[in-house]
Structure 1
Amino acid sequence: MNIQSIIQKEFNLKDFQVINTIKLIDEGNTIPFIARYRKEMTGELSDVVLRQFHDRLMYLRNLESRKEDVIRLINDMDKLTDEIKISIEKCETLQEIEDIYAPFRPKKRTRATMAKEKGLEPLALGILNYTIEDIDKEASIYINEEKGVNSIEEAIKGACDIIAEIISEDANLRKVIRNIALNEGIISSKGATEEDSVYSMYYSYSERVKTMAPHRILAINRGEKEGYLKVKLELSDDKIVHRISSSYIKNNERDISKYIIDSINDSYKRLIYPSIEREIRSHLTEIGEERAIRVFGENLKKLLLQSPVKGSVVMGFDPAYRTGCKIAIVNQNGKLIDTTTIYPTAPQEDIETSKKILKELINKHDVNIVAIGNGTASRESEMFVAELIKEMDRDIKYIIVNEAGASVYSASEVANEEHPDINVSLRGAISIARRLQDPLAELVKIDPKHIGVGQYQHDVNQKRLEEVLNGVVEDSVNTVGVDLNTASYSLLQYVAGISKGVAKNIIAYREEVGEFKSRSELKKVKRLGPAAFLQCAGFLRIPNSENPLENSSVHPESYDICKNLLEKLGYTLDDVKNKNINNIEQRVREIGINSLSEELNVGIPTLKDIINEIKKPGRDPREESLKPIFRSDVLKIEDIKEEMVLKGTVRNVVDFGAFVDIGIKNDALLHKSQMSDKFVKDPMDVVSVGDIVDVRVISVDIQKQRVSLSMKGI
């Protein structure tokens, strides 16, 4: 198997892209570093494609390794033939290898293995190969009371058990049956109870395997796990049995064929069908999980890269009932400056005292925005805050913030290190306030799977989920860049090339020496060697450095190139620092990007990146995102009428649509069929988490507190 050729074909890449990317990965370079600083070598492959490339490369290498293992194992048994070896070498999936290895794999005691222990294998092979003329006469030879064969019938039955297992382990046959199941099989589900549930639509449901939507696969799996559904794979049994028979029945006229037919039926019902059903269900689950993980990953990335709200004093409002609403105020830099607890909600409903306390805090600290968590008692708290704002003679707004993971953060080691003297219950309010100011810096403190923008995230392979989500966080952090002098340990550990241990060493160095003056100082940090420096340096920023390049994504390895470029264009580093390079694009056009590339001996992609950086040193790419919607009044579902056109924020995107915050208690559903006049296969092609969208109300169900939306005709 030529791994390079397979990847080249699957990803539609050129030779040099595959060769160079494999080389870069094998050298230990991180995906963010390769994507950002080795564009010439990869042909400008994105971080998303590079991660897919990496996953496929690892799979194919595991495939090769497994082939070698299986060939060795079969050879150690002295059963390896040229035919078996060639078959293994041709395998394209791990499943195909396991099918070939199945007959040789050490087994638990089965009916067939027990029959073999009784010495009945020659009889089985004689029947299967049609070399027996008189079955009763031949079977009588194997009667042996000591071995437990007491009659001709027992001998034949044991031989048929061996034949059934031989048929079930036929790799070529299993491949054919598996393809039939994938292309023609039907997954059906029936209610295991008459109790109404969220799975009611699946109480009498069937769908072809090849057309099942990933979210329906996971819904059925969950319904089965919770005891509401019975699920099975429906196949054309007669067609499959006929296909098996065509491989093993050589002469229908011979009496011996009836024993093979019996063995085929037994093999299919007892061995093949259950095994194929497990494989197909597992295959579907894998599809469902991969899709759910991808959806979670894409939603998470959009959430992490939402525009920060800078320069505002924010009041974090963590709603609750009995235990009271927790309040935390943070200044423009996210530093905690005050906390309290109020009781405006049931059962206390001490609204007037709560208003008085908050008014005093708002005036005392010049609060601009109230960030309200979207959990329990959120909308009651929103109504309270809206009333409060109306009574105040100052410009103040509020916003609903996704608080998923705030409670996890509150009890975490990170929160304890940051706020050792603050009660655990108040830390959630701090997190809510800060995640409005800088979503990325705050959300990296929380295990990504606890950030509620997924679908069925608790049902999927947790190791794979963690791997993908950590990759998303890493890509997001490195896309934005990190302030070396203010970044938390939680943020630093996601910078390319920096481990958890090194992140702590950076913090320790900062506490001991003070602020970093240059990136080169990183080389003094314990355990941060040349390889790690190469990976991380370009993603770390020093805003107050004398050299403006230290506050850009220009990598130190390109500083000389950048300086030479500035000289050729008639600029200095001071011009960059003072942002006095407004006509740089015109000067580049006059000389020509190709000429500059040749003169400076640098690739065009890197050159373009350098030019973009010196145009806007310290630029935060998130600032180009849509700003969040701030409100000063509240909507009730009773206020919502059909045909109303509203502005909302996309909170979550799933396979069947999106949930949009339009300012009422529950997020409204925008089904994918209502996203466009054209067919929408994937809602992510139309909307993303954090998008601000105009929507029209198409139905309101006050009893169920549900609102349905449409984007058609707007």
Structure 2
Amino acid sequence: MSQSEINATQEKRETGDRERIVQQVAKELALSLKQVRTTISLLDEGNTIPFIARYRKEMTGELDENQLRDIEERTNYLRNLEERKAEVIRIIAEQDKLSEELEAAIRKAVKLQEVEDLYRPYRQKRKTRASVAKERGLAPLAEWLLSLPKQGNALTEAAKYIQPDKGVETAEEALQGAMDIVAENMADEAATRAWVRKYTMDHGMMVSEAKSPEAESVYEMYYNYREAAKRMPSHRILAMNRGEREEVLKVSLEVENEPIHRYIAGRWIKGGSAVGDVLHAVVEDAYKRLIAPSIEREVRGELTERAEQQAISIFAGNLRSLLLQPPVRGKVVLGVDPAYRTGCKLAVVDDTGKLLEVAVTYPTPPNNKKREAAAKINELIDRYDVTLIVVGNGTASRETEQFVAEIIAERKDKQLAYLIVNEAGASVYSASKLAQQEFPDLDVAERSAVSIARRLQDPLAELVKIEPKAIGVGQYQHDVSQKHLDESLTTVVESAVNHVGVDVNTASPSLLSYVSGVNATTAKNIVKFREENGRFRSRKQLQKVPRLGAKTYEQCIGFMRISEGEHPLDRTPIHPESYEVVNRLFVELGVGLDQLGSKELAAKLAALYPETLADRLEVGVPTLRDILDSLQRPGRDPREELPLPIFRTDVLKIEDLAPGMELQGTVRNVIDFGAFVDIGIKNDGLVHISQLSEGFVKHPMDVVSVGDNVTVWVLNIDINKGRVGLTMRNPKGRQN
């Protein structure tokens, strides 16, 4: 075959592989071939998912970000799978052991595990009992056993292979060596492994017991525990894994052996044979010594992978809800980072987030300087007209909350309120290089107080400065793959930032770096250009920023906002590529851009039908629909449609609670088995999944999200442990 023919064959195969991937992804995700093919092409051209989801709706059939990410993820997996197939085929071919049937089976595989099972017999192994037996010349005896002879005696046949110079001194040793070879053949067979793996997953029991049953620990419920593996929720799998890793628990996967022995024997021992007993013994050995240990590792690995995916998914969902909390605008805020010995750090920020003053007070034990602290806080309230006090929920938060509530109660002359905010990640931010650059003259705790104040005014702008996984709104985040967690959470932040959009004249480098197509270097260049040249007056100016090329400009510019620029459309989510469409629309309506934001224009736009107008304006219906929505509400922040957090003026103690009491609370965290709600006491109350709704709830995230304001009723109280059980099912039968 000539080189050109080889190249043509290779190109044909690669084309076939690409099309097979398209078909596989479309089938798995129940999408059309055109949608998948177009999306893959757009991604390969360097387009980002936020850009495709927002500005290429006609091309993808209006696929949302989640669907686009699913396509990207499955395509990457299948492409890596194709690479692995090619590598395995090459290695087996180099051993001169590649048959047409084997190559076809490898190419047909749709999971990496299938490929690895097929490759297993040809993989270079460390020294095994079977490899030693082969070196001693016992492979023919193993082949004789596998031929299922109708007559003969295994030991008599084995005696022919006695070779003391090779270490085979007796017939028993020869037979054992041959049995070891057969056992390895059985253990390496792909079909056998696939069946045993599925059976173990379907029928296996996860079992745990304590290494020291008398010792107290947080794992006591797992000291003598059994549960069907395939029905175990992710949080219990991860809890068991952690207990095992900390050497508190012994964990195993148990499964009934007899059905597995029967299956393997049925594949390898057919009809009556003189060596049937020997082969049945081999089956038991192959399973116990070779198959069971590796299958247990694989099944537990798969269970852990699923549990990690669920845990990461929960963290990602909670993080998105937290990032998209509505900003509290127009308030001068006093942020408080509470502490005991080192005192409470205070930071006052104006309604734009600008730092006005920092201070430290000592109202909590062991100092208890409440009078001096109250005087300082009242001084700051009066000097800067503070209307809201924000307290971090860390150490000494409830003592500080009580102190703040007392100050508010005494200030009848001021409309004051306070709020407890989740300060997770504030310490990480305050010790970062970014915080040092932002506030070089402040110490770590003072920076933390600023962060606590600002994260209420604009949660997204402040929280993007923190490593996503340091924002603790998940479960078992330290027990999952940190690489996958980082990737998933970064994706969530990117999605949230682009959903909201950024003001290019006020955004920090941290915020800009999450905009579609913009990396950290480009973000810094945008800020540097702004500092050197003044405010951006138009989106076009961004083309002058160093290293912000044409592709980056196309990807990012629709998500950049210029609130008081030269072109009215620069403050909307409308992409500059669609400005001409807006011009044609305004000509048709007989209005000018100067009317943007007026009630009259909004009324005219609301009366239009995109389906009948799109052809005349030479634009797709989905894009026109987005344009009309953006024109009706220019400069809109989608977060402002959500309810603001609950502001409080007085403290509630656990001793104040009684079963049946109705309360208003804020969801702080959502996990597999329920939701934690801040009702104003020291510890958040738990609404178990069974108490979230009158009907069946598949997962708590289907009912509540982080930041939701909810009505709850007290179900039970454990004062000693500081625990409160809550319900969202109205005990009086009212609608909640």
Query: Shorter-chain TM-score category?
Result: over 0.9
The 2-side partners of 1:121 and 1:330 are apart by: 80
Aligned length in residues: 710
Among 429, 432, 436, which residue is 2:456 paired with? 436
Aligned-partner Cα distance in 1 for 2:528–2:603: 43
User: Within 5 A, what are the aligned runs for 1:49-198?
Assistant: 49-131=67-149, 133-194=152-213, 195-198=215-218
Contact 1:569–1:587 (Cα < 8 Å) also in 2: no
1:710 pairs with 712, 722, 727, which one?
727
2:484 paired residue among 457, 464, 478: 464
How much has 1:87 moved relative to structure 2?
1.3
- Matched residue, 2:513: 493
- Per-residue Cα deviation, 1:512-538 (whole angstroms, up to 9, x for no partner): 111111111111111111110000000
Counterparts of 1:120 and 1:81 in 2: how far apart (Å)? Answer: 25
Give 1:643 deviation, angstroms.
0.5
**Partner residue in 2 for 1:649:** 666
Would you say the 8 A contact 2:337–2:445 is kept in 1? no
Work out which of the residue numbers 301, 305, 312 in structure 2 matches 1:282. 301
How do 1:2-13 and structure 2 match up within 5 A? 2-13=20-31
1:218 aligned onto 2:241? no
Contact 1:406 1:431 in 2 (8 A): yes
Deviates more, 1:520-529 or 1:466-475: 520-529
After TM superposition, list the pairs within 5 Å mapping 1:261-340 onto structure 2: 261-340=280-359
The answer as to whether partners of 1:579 and 1:616 remain within 8 angstroms in 2 is no
Query: Counterpart of 2:340 in structure 1: which amino acid?
Result: Y
Give yes or no for contact 1:548–1:577 (8 Å, CA) kept in 2.
no
Q: How much does 1:252 deviate?
A: 4.1
What is the DSSP-based 3-state SS (H/G/I as helix, E as strand, rest coil) of the residue aligned with 1:394? coil
CA offsets 1:335-369 (integer angstroms, 9 cap, x no match): 11100111111111111110011110111111111
Query: What is the identity, as a one-letter code, of the residue corresponding to 2:50?
Result: P
Aligned partner letter, 2:254: E
Task: Map 1:359-370 to 2 at 5 A.
Answer: 359-370=378-389
Displacement after TM superposition at 1:73 (Å): 1.0
The aligned counterpart of 1:18 is 36
Alignment partner of 1:665 out of 664, 673, 682: 682
The one-letter amino acid of 1:361's match is L
Alignment match of 1:679 (pick from 696, 707, 724):
696
2:65 corresponds to: 47
How big is the alpha-carbon RMSD for the aligned residues of Structure 1 and Structure 2?
Answer: 1.3
1:362 alignment partner AA: I
Matched-pair contact (CA < 8 Å) for 2:597–2:633: no
Deviation at residue 184 of structure 1 after TM alignment: 1.4
**Could you tell me which residue of structure 2 aligns to residue 381 of structure 1?**
400
- By how many angstroms is 1:580 displaced? 4.6
How far residue 587 of structure 1 moved from its aligned partner, in angstroms, is 4.1
Structure 2 CA distance for aligned equivalents of residues 374 and 146 of structure 1: 76
Letter aligned with residue 656 of structure 2: D
Provide the rounded CA distance (Å) in 2 between the counterparts of 1:443 and 1:301: 11
Specify the SS of the correspondent of 1:349.
Answer: coil
Secondary structure in 2 matching 1:581: helix
Distance in 2 between residues matched to 1:428 and 1:345, nearest whole Å: 18
2:363 is the alignment partner of 1:344: yes
1:151-202 per-position Cα deviation (integer Å, ceiling 9, x unaligned):
2211111111111111100100111111111211111112222223222112
How much has 1:285 moved relative to structure 2? Answer: 0.2
Residue type of the partner of 1:62? N
Shift, 1:264, TM fit: 1.2
Cα separation, partners in 2 of 1:554 and 1:181, compared to 1, 3 Å: same
Q: Is the 8 A contact 2:204 2:253 kept in 1?
A: yes
Question: What is the SS of the residue equivalent to 2:601?
Answer: coil
Q: In the alignment, what sits opposite 2:372?
A: 353
The aligned counterpart of 1:605 is 622
**Secondary structure of 2:194's partner?**
helix
Q: CA deviation at 1:233?
A: 1.0
Amino acid at match of 2:71: F
Looking at structure 1, the residues matched to 87 and 339 of structure 2 have their Cα atoms a distance apart, in angstroms, of 58
Structure 2: distance between partners of 1:403 and 1:305: 16
User: Secondary structure in 1 aligned to 2:420?
Assistant: strand
Equivalent of residue 612 in structure 2, options 595, 600, 613:
595
Q: What is the distance in 2 between the residues matched to 1:705 and 1:594?
A: 58
SS of match in other structure, 2:717:
strand
Mapped contact 2:663–2:712 kept (Cα < 8 A): yes
- 2:233 is aligned with what amino acid? A
- Percent of residue pairs identical: 53
- SS for the counterpart of 2:386 is coil
Q: Does the residue aligned with 1:227 lie in a helix, a strand or coil?
A: coil
Residue 402 of structure 1, CA deviation? 0.4
Cα drift, residue 595 of structure 1: 2.6
Give me the TM-score of the superposition, normalised by structure 1: 0.98
Q: Conserved in 1, the CA contact under 8 Å of 2:602 and 2:631?
A: no
Instruction: Tell me, yes or no, if the aligned pair for 1:313 and 1:329 is still in contact at 8 Å.
Output: yes
Q: Are 2:506 and 1:506 equivalent residues in the alignment? A: no
CA distance in structure 2 between the partners assigned to 1:174 and 1:231 by the alignment: 22
Deviation string for 1:281-319 (max 9, x for gaps)?
001001100000000000000000000011111111001
What SS does the aligned partner of 2:540 have?
helix
Deviates further, 282-291 or 205-214: 205-214
In the TM superposition, 1:444-463 aligns within 5 A as 444-463=464-483
One-letter amino acid of the counterpart of residue 229, structure 1 = L
Aligned mates of 1:122, 1:368 — CA distance in 2: 89
| 2:48 equivalent to 1:36 | no
SS in 2 for 1:453: coil
Match of 1:484 in 2: 504
CA distance in 1, matches of 2:206, 2:599: 63
Aligned counterparts of 1:602 and 1:11: Cα–Cα separation in 2: 28
Q: Could you tell me how far apart the structure 2 residues matched to 1:247 and 1:586 are?
A: 70
Q: What's the offset of the Cα at 1:431?
A: 0.5
Letter aligned with residue 140 of structure 2: P
2:560 and 2:447 map into 1 onto residues whose CA distance is 28
Matched to 1:561, the amino acid is: V
Asked if the contact 1:566–1:573 (Cα under 8 Å) also holds between the matched residues in 2, the reply is: yes
Residue 579 of structure 1, CA deviation: 5.8
Give the secondary structure class of the aligned counterpart of 2:710.
strand
Say which SS state the counterpart of residue 142 (structure 2) adopts: helix
Q: Distance in 2 between matches of 1:401 and 1:682?
A: 25
Deviation at residue 146 of structure 1 after TM alignment: 2.9
Alignment-mate amino acid for residue 216 of structure 1: R
The whole-number CA distance in structure 2 between the counterparts of 1:290 and 1:475 is 19
The 8 Å contact of residues 308 and 437 in structure 1, kept in 2 or not, is answered as yes
Distance 2:672 2:694 in 1: 18
Deviates further, 208-217 or 428-437: 208-217
CA positional deviation for 1:48: 1.7
Q: Which piece of structure 1 moves more, 128-137 or 54-63? A: 128-137
DSSP-derived class of the 2:492 partner: helix
Unmatched tracts of structure 2, length 5 or more: 1-16, 731-735
When structure 1 is superposed on structure 2, of 68-77 and 457-466 the one drifting more is 68-77
Residue matched to 2:561? 541
Q: Does structure 1 conserve the Cα–Cα contact (< 8 Å) formed by 2:389 and 2:419?
A: yes
Conserved 8 A contact 1:186-1:209 = yes
> Offset of 1:148 from its aligned partner?
1.7
Q: Which residue, out of 582, 590, 606, partners 1:562?
A: 582
Residue 241 (structure 1) aligns with: 261
Under a length normalisation based on structure 2, what TM-score does the superposition of the two structures give?
Answer: 0.95
Correspondence 1:412 to 2:432: yes
Measured in 2, the distance between the counterparts of 1:267 and 1:14 equals 45
